[in-house]
Amino acid sequence: MSSTASKYRENDLIENKKLGFFLVIVLCIGLIAGSILTLAYIRHVNRGDAVVVADLSTVVAGANVPEMTIQPPSAQAQVSLNSTNATAVELYPTDNVQAVVDQYAAGTTFVFTPGVYRMQRIQPRDGDTFTGQSGAILNGALQLTQLTQEDGYWVAVGQTQEGVVQGECMEGYERCSYPEDVFVDNVPLQHVASRAQLTTGTWFFDYANDKIYLTDHYEGRLVETSVTDAAFFGEANGVTISHLTIEKYANPAQHGAINGRTSTAWLVDNVTLRLNHGVGIHLGNQMRLINSNISGNGQMGIGANRISDALVENNEIAANNYAGFRINWEAGATKFARTDGLIVRGNYVHDNAGTGLWTDIDNRNTLYENNLVVNNAGSGIFHEISYDAIIRNNIVMFNGLSKADYMMYGAQILISTSSNAEVYGNQVVVSPEGGKGIGIMQQDRGGGDAPWQGYNNNVHNNTIIYMGSAGVSGVMTDWEEANFWALGDNRFDANTYYLTNPASNRWRWAGQEHTWETLRALGQETNGTLNATLPNDAGAIPVWNALATTQN
């Protein structure tokens, strides 16, 4: 790692302490009627006051499922799809879904009838469609129904599942990198590293002896452990997945419960992805992820690497990273790497224990627009060691509270060691508790497809509101300072600022703190405006209105 990256990591202790608060919120899961869960999260409203709001989707607890069977093709139920005059194959919770899929030609439509489909792992063929009727749930977990006592603990024996271990964990969450989870009534317990660490609300997997240890019996409650590493995967083209709930898969960090990383042109529409250990969904080339809810996953909501022309539109991405992965490694709502032509539009990204929208490493031609990004522990929109991007017409509020104070980390919108970004039309609100406004910075990060430099970025016509004394905007560097200030050609102009103390040093430029007057003397914000009175609704989070999404 570079020297500046090392400085960034030195602030992890501060980050971990603050992020612990967000993890408590992510893990604050209330049960209603015994079988329905909601996730509680903190939202800032009315100029930064904190209130608790219950949100996200519901989970219907599944019953015991007998051993999977399959009907022969001649007996497999088929239903007519009037809209396409095609024939669909009905699936049932007792089916081995892959075995059914394998008996039909590519391009078949499969309909999941209501129920819980446990530990299914499905590799589609070109053109296959998988759609669910109301109440169809793909569940990657095994029910634990036979618990015995040992040394005062309740134990499940014969647990041979053991997935790929990877990822960097926060202090106190040392087993975040193990993909297995235990859930009690749809609530994930924290995985601890030894029997000696067991307390109420935790569990321990003794992998060497194939045993799961719990502190409580949980008699009469739904106890599950995740086993299967993916719901959908493979290299097929033109697959559609819609109207399904996908939950409790033991997918490793950086891998999706829908693992489309080697796929092309998949459509994922109206899908709920929750309580999966790693990433809810990993995108593939030309994938369209629309109208979906990706919330409450262990590491992150959405991931991508080495893809082009993907669309992420009209989704709710919330309360991810319950397992306690380090933000600086990869955690929170999203992370996109080495993409070209990525469009992220109209999403509601909130209350994640990590970064909101994050493009990191050699991303080109990125468009972020019309997103509502609120109350994430890390930066709201973060474009890092990448290239050409447009970030426009987003509302970005109250993010970055857990980040250390080094340079511009924790900004609502941050362009980090990236070039040719245009940032305009955004409304940015900084919490009185912390975070920053809009920032550009350069560090010694090496290079990728081209040099990584914080050059030629244009920040204009944005509204930036400071709710209190916290937060700054501007440009900072800790590497090649002379060349950077001479050649960087970064610009701030025509932005509108609101802050109650207009004489304060709220801007950073050329290695110094600046007031409004000294910033303008440097040639910045010649057309900008400064207001000493906050708008009446400055701290109000707008209602998210889902876009009228098309599939084009």
Read off the pLDDT of residues 416-425 as tens digits, 9 standing for 90 and up: 999 999 999 9
Phi, psi torsion values for 379, nearest 5 degrees: -60, 155
pLDDT per position as a tens digit, 157-188:
999 999 999 999 999 999 999 999 999 999 99
Q: Predicted confidence band at 40 (pLDDT cuts at 50, 70, 90)?
A: very low
Indicate if 313 and 422 belong to the same structural domain. yes
Residue in the block written with tokens 């995108």: 283
Nearest C-alpha neighbor of 524 from the set 544, 548, 506: 506
Smallest CA-to-CA distance from 398 within 424, 368, 428, 355 is with 428
Is residue 13 pLDDT above 80, yes or no? no
Q: Is 362 in the same domain as 478?
A: yes
Q: Is residue 156 part of a domain?
A: yes
Residues 306-333, mean pLDDT to the nearest whole number: 97
Does 77 map to a domain? no
The structure tokens listed for 223 are 């106890």
Is the pLDDT reported for residue 60 higher than 60?
no
Q: Of 226, 254, 287, at which residue does a domain stop? A: 226
Q: Is pLDDT at 461 greater than 80 in this prediction?
A: yes
Average pLDDT over residues 184-207: 97
Q: How confident is the model at residue 15 (pLDDT cuts 50, 70, 90)?
A: low
Residue 53: predicted pLDDT: 25
- Kindly report, residue by residue over 98-145, the tens digit of the pLDDT: 999 999 999 999 999 999 999 999 999 999 999 999 999 999 999 999
Domain stop point among 204, 226, 248: 226
pLDDT recorded at residue 22:
60
Same domain, 398 and 506: yes
**Both 527 and 400 in a single domain?**
yes
pLDDT, residue 486, reads: 85
Choosing from 197, 226, 255, the residue where a domain stops is 226
Res 61: pLDDT: 29
CA-based end-to-end distance of the chain: 41
pLDDT at 505: 96
Closest by CA to 176, choosing from 166, 186, 184, is 166
User: Taking 80 as the threshold, does the pLDDT of residue 326 lie above it?
Assistant: yes
Residue percentage of the chain with pLDDT more than 90: 77
Q: Which phi-psi region, left, alpha or beta, contains residue 394 (left: φ > 0; alpha: ψ -120 to 50)? A: beta
At residue 449 the predicted structure's pLDDT band, cuts being 50, 70 and 90, is confident
* Tokens at 157, concatenated: 């024996």
Whole-angstrom CA distances from 470 to 320, 434, 473, 475 are 26, 5, 11, 17
Reported as a pLDDT band with limits 50, 70 and 90, residue 28 is low
Banded model confidence at residue 16, pLDDT cuts 50, 70, 90: low
Handedness of CA 403, 404, 410, 414 (dihedral sign): negative
What span, in angstroms and rounded, lies between the C-alpha atoms of 140 and 547?
Answer: 31
Instruction: Point out the least confidently predicted range of 203-212, 294-303, 447-456.
Output: 447-456
Distances (CA, A) of 293 to 47, 61, 273, 283, 431: 28, 18, 6, 15, 26
Which two three-digit tokens encode residue 24?
């408590």
Residues 47-56 have pLDDT tens digits of: 232 222 223 2
pLDDT in tens, 218-271: 989 999 999 999 999 999 999 999 999 999 999 999 999 999 999 999 999 999
Cα separation, 511 vs 441, whole angstroms: 11
Cα–Cα distance between 359 and 415 in angstroms, integer? 10
Same domain, 484 and 346: yes
Q: Please tell me the predicted confidence (pLDDT) of residue 371.
A: 98
Quick check: is 183 in a domain?
yes
C-alpha–C-alpha distance, residues 207 and 214, integer Å: 14
Least confident of 39-43, 202-206, 445-449: 39-43
Q: Of 518 and 31, which is predicted with more confidence?
A: 518
Q: Is residue 253 part of a domain?
A: no
Segment 430-450 shows an average pLDDT of 92
**Pair 350, 430 in one domain:** yes
The predicted structure's pLDDT at residue 198: 97
Average model confidence (pLDDT) for the chain? 87
pLDDT tier at 207 (50, 70, 90 boundaries)?
very high
| Percent of the chain at pLDDT exceeding 70 | 83
* C-beta of residue 86 within 8 angstroms of C-beta of residue 72: no
Cα separations in angstroms, 316 against 37, 57, 349: 17, 10, 6
Task: Judge whether 270 lies within some domain.
Answer: no
DSSP H helices, 397-501, are 481-487
Q: What is the mean pLDDT of residues 456-478?
A: 96
Domain holding 167, by residue range, is 141-226
The yes-or-no verdict on residue 34 having pLDDT over 70 is: no
The SS3 call for residue 512 is strand
Find the radius of gyration of the CA atoms of the chain: 24
Task: Give me the pLDDT at residue 450, please.
Answer: 83
The answer to whether the CB of 133 falls within 8 A of the CB of 114 is yes
> Would you give the DSSP letter of residue 346?
S
In sequence order, what DSSP letters do the residues of 224-279 get, joined into one string?
EEE--S-SEESS-BS-EEES-EEE---PPTT-EEEE-TT-BS-EEES-EEES-SSE
CA distance readout (Å), 129 to 85, 376, 513, 547: 14, 34, 57, 24
Measured on CA atoms in the order 292, 298, 302, 304, is the torsion positive or negative? negative
> What is the per-residue pLDDT for 10?
38
Determine the Cα–Cα distance for residues 364 and 377; give it in Å rounded to an integer.
25
Q: Tokens representing 510? A: 């050329």
Residue 451 has pLDDT above 90, yes or no: no
Q: Is the pLDDT of residue 365 over 90?
A: yes
Cα distance between residue 155 and residue 212, in whole Å: 6
- Say yes or no: 365 and 465 in one domain: yes
Q: Same domain, yes or no, for 222 and 315?
A: no
Query: What is the C-alpha to C-alpha distance for residues 68 and 9, in angstroms, rounded to an integer?
Result: 48
Q: What is the distance between the alpha carbons of residues 436 and 405, in angstroms, rounded to a whole number? A: 9
The stretch 387-401 carries a mean pLDDT of 97
E strands, 406-549, in order = 411-416, 421-424, 427-430, 436-442, 458-460, 463-466, 473-477, 491-493, 496-498, 507-509, 512-514, 529-531
pLDDT of residue 466: 97
pLDDT in tens, 377-387: 999 999 999 99
Would you state the torsion angle of the CA atoms of residues 223, 228, 230, 233, taken in this order, to the nearest 10 degrees?
-150
Residue 355 to residue 333: CA distance in whole angstroms: 6
**Residue 288 predicted with pLDDT over 70:** yes
Residue 25 scores a pLDDT above 80: no
Model pLDDT for residues 504-549, shown as the tens digit of each residue: 999 999 999 999 999 999 999 999 999 999 999 999 999 998 765 4
Q: Does 222 lie in the same domain as 302?
A: no
- pLDDT beyond 90 at 43: no
Please indicate, yes or no, if residue 151 is contained in any of the structural domains: yes
pLDDT band at 503 (very low <50, low <70, confident <90, very high): very high
- Residue 403 has a pLDDT of 66
Q: Which residues are CB-neighbours of 75 under 8 A, at least 6 positions away?
A: none
Same domain? 503 vs 378: yes
Q: Please indicate, yes or no, if residue 122 is contained in any of the structural domains.
A: no
Asked if 360 and 493 sit in the same domain, the reply is yes
For residue 162, being part of any structural domain is answered with yes
**Do 182 and 305 fall into the same domain?**
no
Tokens of residue 310, six digits: 């993907």
Nearest to 147 by CA among 247, 261, 223: 223
User: What single-letter DSSP state applies at residue 69?
Assistant: B
**Looking at the 3D structure of the chain, how many domains does it have?**
2
